[in-house]
Amino acid sequence: MRWLAVRLDLISIALITMVTLLIVLMHGQIPPAYAGLAISYAVQLTGLFQFTIRLLVESEARFTSVERISHYIKNLECEGIRHIPDSAPALSWPQEGGIQFKDVEMRYRDNLPLVLKKLSFSIKPQEKIGIVGRTGSGKSSLGMTLFRLVELAGGSITIDGINIAQIGLEDLRRKLSIIPQEPVLFIGTVRVNLDPSSQYSDAQIWEALEKTHMKASIAQLPERLDSEVLENGENFSVGERQLLCVARALLRSSKILLLDEATAAIDMETDGLIQETISESFCHCTTLVIAHRLNTVLSCDRIMVLDQGQVVEFDAPSALLSDENSRFCAMVNAAEGGTNKTVDGFAEQ
């Protein structure tokens, strides 16, 4: 923009110079009033010229956005159908929360290599599974297939005997809960963030806040549940935002809960509060814990170790630790030799 302004000024100076030279050369032929008017208009042309050109450039840039949106509308593939009446599961589904992966394959786009390769395993109802592995091993991709954020390239996933690919996305996702690594809060009130669809009473919301150790903090706010939440929850700390996300998941009472490195960005004290809440309040759920710290998976019923999109180990923590050649045992040994390292770092070592 600066360079454009310089070039436009040079053009304007050339026009002013030309006008003044013509007036001098045609001395006596042009009335003085007309000569002054011509010079005045030439000087005003400098600002008008810059404004007009900048307006054209900005308009072109704005219409680039319109062109991009039009391209997305015409070319991007839509997600699956939100609701399929003929294959809609019962309102009480899933009753137990058993999950089975059978030869699951997934890639993010056509012609890209597979991220998950022939993944097969079964998770029992109310079982707590820890998922570990180095960066790029497929931990988060496994969660994306469960929520059908990316459709499978092969295989099937069943929950309580129902293939999730054969039901609507809304029917599936409203039955699952996730506590993400980055806590997500929206502009609105505390009540709207915890209960967007207004399904629960104030007593239930306060109970969820009490279980997540956030009741005292919200009670101190001037308007309590109706207190304002800024964009991205900027008026709350990262730990408080994560606890509010746990309270939101707690209200949904889902049979299946996914924790995608939920405590990676918070301090150890808040991590302990979240782990305590999960162990007490989600004991009747099937829980998948994508681990960032080893202490978050040592209490799991079984631990799954992923490598390059495949299950290399899947057993109880005691069984994996007793095997000196297991990869999980190597992670624990690496943890004992360092401080404040993540599971990803252990796996790489």
The residue with tokens 């680039």 is 64
CATH classification of 85-348 is 3.40.50.300, yes or no?
A: yes
Joined together, the tokens standing for residue 75 give: 């070319």
**Tokens read off for 119:** 């993944």
Residue found under tokens 């005691």 = 318
* pLDDT for 67: 93
CB-based contact 314:121 (threshold 8 Å):
yes
Q: Which residues pair with 157 in a beta bridge?
A: 101
- Of 294, 295, 282, nearest in space to 256 by CA: 282
* Sequence-ordered alpha helix ranges (H) in the chain: 2-25, 32-75, 139-146, 169-173, 190-194, 202-211, 215-219, 238-252, 268-281, 317-322, 327-336, 343-348
Closest alpha carbon to 208 in 287, 277, 286, 283: 277
Give the start-to-end residue ranges of the domains of the chain.
Answer: 2-75, 85-348
Rounded to whole angstroms, the Cα distance separating 77 from 74 reads: 9
C-alpha span between 45 and 38 (Å, rounded): 11
User: How far apart are alpha carbons 156 and 134 in whole angstroms?
Assistant: 25
Structure-token pair, residue 136: 């790029």
User: Helices 268-281 and 202-211, interaxial angle, to 10°?
Assistant: 120
> Which letter does DSSP use for residue 149 in this model?
S
Question: CA-to-CA distance for 311 and 307, rounded, in angstroms?
Answer: 7
| Predicted local distance difference test score (pLDDT) of residue 267 | 66
Tens of pLDDT along the chain (349 residues)? 788 888 888 888 888 898 888 888 888 788 888 888 888 888 888 778 888 888 888 898 899 999 999 999 888 877 878 888 888 888 888 888 889 999 999 988 888 888 998 888 999 988 888 888 887 888 888 888 988 888 888 889 999 888 998 888 888 888 888 887 778 888 888 888 888 888 888 888 888 888 888 888 888 888 888 888 888 778 888 778 888 888 888 888 788 888 876 665 566 676 677 777 777 777 788 888 887 667 677 778 888 888 888 888 888 888 888 888 888 888 777 766 644 444 444 433 3
Residues 6+ apart with CB under 8 A from 83: 168, 170, 171
Token pair 């391209």 in the structure block, residue = 71
CA distance 76 to 125: 37
Strands 302-307 and 116-123: unpaired
